[in-house]
Every structure is written in structure tokens, then in C-alpha cells.
Amino acid sequence: MILAAQGGGASSMMPILMIALLFGVMYFMMIRPQQKRRREAEQMQSSIGPGDEVVTIGGLYGTVTSVDDETVMLEVAPGVQTRYARPAIARVINKTPEADAVPAAERIPDEAEVKE
């Protein structure tokens, strides 16, 4: 009689353990990777600067000419500029190096350039 009472308690815990295991698997297989992708996309969109070549979510290739808090101006053809929301940038193709992003007139020359 005592053994029967102990066996009944373990079987009532089994559905709860299965549900907890299911939620754990869903978290590690679905929710966590999606959060990581979202963080990477936000970081990429916040690091966009003038001179970067980008692709929009619609498949339009362009070069960033100016960046605002919420918008990005792209030059899609010589003399043709369009404005997009920052989240509309899908990926960066070519990132402009930081030294080249500053115009030559505003850049302070280094010692090698001064000696020449």
C-alpha cells in the first residue's frame, strides 16, 4: 500500500516536467537565436556611416551620403538620392574605413604626409 502511494506522486509530476522541458527547448531553439539576430541587425544599422555601400530590404543597392537619427540618404545613381528609414537597411556590403570617412580637408595629416 505504501509503494502504491509513492508511485502515484511521481506520475503526477511527469506532465509538469514535460511542459518545463518543452519551454526550455523552445527558448534555446527559437527565442534566443531570434534575439541575437535582432541585436546584430540593430548594431549594424547604428554603425552605418557616409560612404558605406548598403542593400535595402527591397534589394536596392546604394551608397550612404548622410545619416540622421531615423533616416539614411542613399545615392542610388549619380545625382539621384533617396531617403530610407534606418531599419530598411538589410546589410552593409562595403564598410568605409574610419580614416577615409573624414574628408581630406578636415583630416589632420600624419607625419609621413607632412615630410613629403
Per-residue pLDDT tens over the stretch 95-109: 877 544 445 445 455
2-95 topology per CATH:
SH3 type barrels. (2.30.30)
Residue 13 vs residue 103, higher pLDDT: 13
Cβ atoms 97, 53 nearer than 8 A: no
pLDDT score recorded for residue 7: 52
The pLDDT value recorded for residue 89 is: 93
33-83 residue pLDDT tens:
999 999 998 899 888 999 999 999 999 999 999 999 899 999 999 999 999
Nearest 5°: the CA angle 81, 59, 47 is 70
Q: Length of the chain, please? A: 116
pLDDT of residue 3: 47
3-class DSSP state of 57: coil
Nearest CA-CA partner of 71 in 52, 82, 61, 85: 85
Taking the whole predicted model, whether its pTM rises above 0.85 is answered as: no
Cα dist. 18→25, 26, 73 in Å?
11, 12, 51
